[in-house]
């Protein structure tokens, strides 16, 4: 792991401008609050980007210079350009880490990574949530005791339509009687993915010191371990490792790129 | 498992009309050859659909009446309408089985299910392939001995950019020195997915009796086990299983549909 | 799946004789109560076996004639002979299904299948439990609505020291504030494994009609799909599929069995 | 990851004394050759231990001071004391990494971690093997190009009776026509496990610079991320996070340790 990690916190930045409650809680925007939490780790170089910027702030060069992308969206998933979503996916496959927060379960990028509908059940009652650590000693749970308690949260309940996670780091208990897989990891290509449930915009979740600890841990965990550029190369017959001669008919000329 | 399964074999149906070699091998089209192999199991009700049909033959009602969809595409992945690809995905999440053949690794539906680039290395030399059974007694390998040998195939080699499979049923050895994960399963939502590598259009692969056996096995394995309609429902506070009262601010009105 | 399945319900049968509360709830023994629940499916041929029988009732011939083994143990895991536990493991690897109930998380067979410590946290307060279905339409959840409620249960809490499950079918919510992965599946060799949490002996859990429905579903789901006898064979050089000649020194004589 | 890692290379150390070929290739013993390869990374503190030492050199204090254990065994798996194997398992569950080499697929520890029979097919013909990298940029494949070629190896072929790996880092191609999952990872408790196939004692495999590179990579990858002591604690009613009162009968007294 490199000593310093370059992080972009991406925020949809919509409700902060439209909804008085959200604006009051996050006057600087949610992305800036999340970024401030990450900056408590002095070795993280944290920048922000928002939907409203050109290319949503996620140009090719910006992504190339990013180790981990943290994503928060809710009301405007559909306004994220397909082209940008696909560029983010390609960069994840190369090795960039990706952290999807709360309502980002329905973001274009997360749904594309999962290959499922990513639906769930939900209720906005400001109820108590307790996230239990299922894998003590997992790097993402470092410094967390047996659980995290949040007094006021939106509820997300099972069934959560995701593929079986590689690891289930947190499971949530809700006051109203539901449960949820609140902290899950997957790998897609060379990129590490972490979904973390807390984060509804009408509560000051991202000011919570333990939530911030989880986010810093997750960014460290998701750091690229290497880089792989995906090319789908044709292997010429003369470069086969075992002696080989052309047999039978063929569709492609030697060295052709093939269909994509 | 219902006694009778309703299957659609979808074929891109392009090379059969453009390439003399392919037309000679598959004069009725590849989809019809694959369908004929499946019909050797009298309890499979097999239909075909092609790119050229209205909505590619995959209307809402056609998919609703389908238990397993078998997909072959190569040159025209980009011509499959996004709307149709998304409709297929939704039906898979409900429970429909999906079998992706050979170059369909790059089809829109398969890439969306995997969440990865699905790239690989390849060579068209008509070389020998031997598919080894990694899970003896797996239903997809039923009736297959320790391996399948194909005298002339296109080579696909690792790295195959897929998420870790739930099960690796077949691994391929190639004459030219490569290996490949040729038969893999995943689950996405309620749908079962199987990828099977053999099937290049310049060889009569789909006439091979053992390949046909695998396809029949796979269709039986991928049969829906149930059906789930994905709704992402709001749970009203008064319907919470534990007594709950509204606390704190909220974004949504009671009973709202939420953002998608 | 064969029309009829042969099932053994194995019971430790200790507390029923030592503890007045347990004897009162399960006068016929827990194994007989579980067996009665399974027999509500007329196509299941259900027998019982107990610790006290010769070879714990799990002779080689008994296991050879069994499709699915259901296991309940708690106080006497250490009294199960290693030889019998290993025989059960071998039969699971061949294809027999295995269902571990409640405190059987600490049984020799289950711990050997998992390769982990299988520890958890626990509390015996007779509290309410709600098991949420995470995979609607999964065969094990067939006929179950969105959740199962049990008024009085022992609590098991996370961390549950298991390998990442292939599927998480049920997650539990507890009145006292904990959560637990209560219904999980794995595959080991050709055998399907299901762990189901409910079942403390001081409550009449196995009389509950929905619990019995889950058990019947689970037995059907765990039915063998085939049989594979594990042999670790030497492949003689002359039987290699590609022409091969002996090169370099060797440790074993041609056709030797090798070390085990 | 700590700057320095403490490694034990465990060697069975039997054939080196009994077989002239093996003694000639590995005059210092295989464990010392493997250790020498690891020591090329100056930040690894490498010790060795053998079957012949008291407690096989794996005392409680030795294991407590070990970050990663590398294991090579073949002819004497049965002579490893159960008690020592179980001590190793417990330490892995706490967080120690474990690397199983070649014929250690049949070692007590590895079989216990997998929960399967771990069988395979094999042939000792000195044939060519080519290990393909399936996950480019995986830390274990760092510095390795697309494949590793070994001119003379024993063949291991599928089916390899393991649970589905978390990651398949290497797949092998063999001259005689077989394939094998040669580099696989799993997680058990907090411990990371890597199986690496090459290493037959009649060939100088562990002098090969690229094999040594893989071993150094694997040790770094398997470094503990934390430590968790498994206790299976009872949670007293008064310490429940939600207010709870004792209801119904109970088997255990408050604060009891429970059955193991």
* Distance (Å) from the alpha carbon of C74 to chain B's nearest alpha carbon: 31
Tens-digit pLDDT profile for residues A136-156: 999 999 999 999 999 999 999
Task: Tabulate helix, strand, coil % of chain D (nearest 5).
Answer: 30, 30, 40
Cβ of residue B258 closer than 8 Å to a chain A Cβ: yes
Distances (CA, A) of B248 to A201, B76, C193: 12, 53, 44
pLDDT of residue B234: 87
Closest residue, chain C, to D125 (C-alpha): C246
Contact assignment for A249 to B202 by CB distance below 8 Å: yes
H or E segment and range at residue B153: strand B147-157
* CB count in 10 Å sphere of residue C25: 20
Please return the burial class of A7, using the count of CB atoms within 10 Å of its CB with bins 0-12, 13-18 and 19+: buried
What's the distance, CA A10 to chain centroid? 10
More confident residue, C51 or B256: C51
Tens-digit pLDDT profile for residues B79-88: 999 999 999 9
Q: Which of B130, B134, B172 sits opposite D159 (nearest CB)?
A: B134
Cβ of residue A233 closer than 8 Å to a chain B Cβ: yes
What the block records as the tokens of B151 is: 């005298």
Provide the CATH number for the domain formed by D5-221 in this structure: 3.40.50.880
Exposure b/e, C229-256, CB count within 10 A at least 16 = b: ebebbbbebeebbeebeebbbbbeeeee
Q: Residue D136 has what DSSP assignment?
A: T
What number of H helices and E strands is found in chain D?
Answer: 7, 9
Q: Which of D136, D142, D166 sits opposite A166 (nearest CB)?
A: D166
Cβ of residue C249 closer than 8 Å to a chain D Cβ: yes
- Give the C-alpha separation, C192 to A187, whole Å: 25
- Give the C-alpha separation, D167 to A57, whole Å: 33
Residue D256 pLDDT class (50, 70, 90 cuts) = confident
pLDDT of residue B251: 85
Tens-digit pLDDT profile for residues C135-170: 999 999 999 999 999 999 999 999 999 999 999 999
The pLDDT tens digits along chain A (260 residues) read: 567 999 999 999 999 999 999 999 999 999 999 999 999 999 999 999 999 999 999 999 999 999 999 999 999 999 999 999 999 999 999 999 999 999 999 999 999 999 999 999 999 999 999 999 999 999 999 999 999 999 999 999 999 999 999 999 999 999 999 999 999 999 999 999 999 999 999 999 999 999 999 999 999 999 998 888 777 788 889 999 999 998 878 888 877 777 76
What the block records as the tokens of C137 is: 């339409």
Q: Are A123 and A154 in contact (CB under 8 A)?
A: yes
Tens-digit pLDDT profile for residues D15-73: 999 999 999 999 999 999 999 999 999 999 999 999 999 999 999 999 999 999 999 99
Provide the CATH number for the domain formed by C5-116+183-221 in this structure: 3.40.50.880
D249 has a pLDDT exceeding 90: no
Closest residue, chain B, to D133 (C-alpha): B159
Distances (CA, A) of B20 to B25, B50, C104: 9, 19, 64
Average pLDDT over residues C102-114: 98
Q: How many CA atoms lie within 13 A of D185 on its CB side?
A: 22
Tens-digit pLDDT profile for residues A229-255: 777 788 889 999 999 998 878 888 877
The domain segmentation of chain A, as residue ranges, is 5-221
What the block records as the tokens of D102 is: 């070649």
Selection from B160, B229, B144, B230 nearest residue B195 by Cα: B160
Tens-digit pLDDT profile for residues D80-106: 999 999 999 999 999 999 999 999 999
Tens-digit pLDDT profile for residues D123-176: 999 999 999 999 999 999 999 999 999 999 999 999 999 999 999 999 999 999
Provide the CATH number for the domain formed by B5-115+182-221 in this structure: 3.40.50.880
Contact assignment for A226 to D139 by CB distance below 8 Å: yes
Q: Could you tell me where the DSSP H helices lie in B104-254?
A: 108-114, 209-221
Residues of chain A contacting D95 with CB distance shorter than 8 Å? 137
What's the distance, CA B54 to chain centroid? 21
Q: Which residue has the tokens 């968790």?
A: D228
Cβ of residue C124 closer than 8 Å to a chain D Cβ: yes
Closest residue, chain D, to B138 (C-alpha): D159
Contact assignment for A244 to B125 by CB distance below 8 Å: yes
CB contact residues (below 8 A), chain B span 201-220, against chain A: 201-203
Distances (CA, A) of D246 to A173, B211, C152, D242: 21, 62, 10, 13
What the block records as the tokens of A196 is: 């973390």
Alpha-carbon torsion (C22, C23, C26, C29), positive or negative: positive
Mutate to test the interface with B, among A123, A177, A188, A255 (most CBs of B within 10 A): A123
Tens-digit pLDDT profile for residues A71-84: 999 999 999 999 99
Q: Are D116 and C163 in contact (CB under 8 A)?
A: no
Q: Are A74 and A101 in contact (CB under 8 A)?
A: no
Q: Which of A164, A166, A177 sits opposite C130 (nearest CB)?
A: A177
Residues of chain A contacting D138 with CB distance shorter than 8 Å? 190, 225-226
Mutate to test the interface with C, among D12, D51, D123, D126 (most CBs of C within 10 A): D123
pLDDT of residue C1: 53
3-class DSSP assignment, residue D165: coil
H or E segment and range at residue D5: strand D5-11
Mutate to test the interface with D, among A130, A171, A225, A232 (most CBs of D within 10 A): A225
**What DSSP string runs through C226-238?**
--------B--GG
- Give the C-alpha separation, A164 to B44, whole Å: 30
- Give the C-alpha separation, C93 to C102, whole Å: 22
D1 has a pLDDT exceeding 70: no
Tens-digit pLDDT profile for residues C66-98: 999 999 999 999 999 999 999 999 999 999 999
Interacting residues of B204 by C-beta distance below 8 A, sequence separation 6+: B25, B26
Q: Are A183 and A29 in contact (CB under 8 A)?
A: no
Closest residue, chain D, to A140 (C-alpha): D225
Contact assignment for B122 to A232 by CB distance below 8 Å: yes
Contact assignment for D149 to A241 by CB distance below 8 Å: yes
**Interface pTM (ipTM) of the complex?**
0.95
What the block records as the tokens of D133 is: 């990298």
pLDDT of residue B210: 98
Please return the burial class of D183, using the count of CB atoms within 10 Å of its CB with bins 0-12, 13-18 and 19+: buried
Q: Which of B167, B228, B241 sits opposite C136 (nearest CB)?
A: B228
Taking one residue from C and the other from D, the number of pairs with CB-CB distance under 8 angstroms is: 193
* Distance (Å) from the alpha carbon of D233 to chain C's nearest alpha carbon: 5
CB contact residues (below 8 A), chain C span 152-191, against chain D: 152, 155, 157, 159, 161, 163-164, 166, 175-178, 186-189
């Amino acid at each position: 792991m490199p000593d310093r990690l370059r992080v972009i916190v991406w925020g949809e930045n919509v409700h902060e401008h439209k909804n008085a409650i959200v604006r009051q809680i996050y006057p600087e925007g949610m992305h800036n609050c999340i970024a401030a939490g990450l900056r408590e780790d002095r070795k993280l170089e944290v920048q922000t980007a928002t939907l409203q910027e050109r290319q949503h702030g996620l140009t090719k060069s910006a992504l190339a210079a990013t180790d981990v992308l943290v994503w928060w969206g809710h009301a405007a998933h559909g306004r994220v350009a397909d082209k940008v979503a696909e560029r983010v996916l390609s960069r994840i496959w190369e090795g960039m880490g990706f952290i999807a927060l709360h309502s980002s379960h329905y973001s274009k990028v997360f749904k594309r990574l999962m290959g499922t509908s990513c639906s769930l059940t939900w209720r906005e009652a400001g109820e108590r949530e307790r996230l239990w650590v299922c894998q003590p000693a997992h790097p993402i749970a470092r410094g967390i005791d047996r659980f995290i308690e949040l007094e006021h949260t939106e509820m997300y309940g099972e069934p959560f339509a995701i593929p079986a996670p590689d690891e289930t780091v947190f499971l949530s208990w809700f006051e109203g009687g539901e449960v949820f897989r609140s902290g899950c990891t997957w790998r897609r290509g060379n990129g590490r993915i972490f979904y973390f449930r807390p984060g509804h915009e009408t509560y000051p979740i991202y000011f919570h010191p333990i939530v911030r600890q989880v986010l810093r841990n997750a960014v460290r965990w998701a750091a690229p371990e290497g880089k792989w550029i995906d090319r789908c190369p044709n292997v010429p017959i003369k470069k086969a490792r075992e002696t080989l001669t052309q047999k039978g008919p063929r569709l492609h000329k030697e060295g052709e790129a093939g269909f994509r």
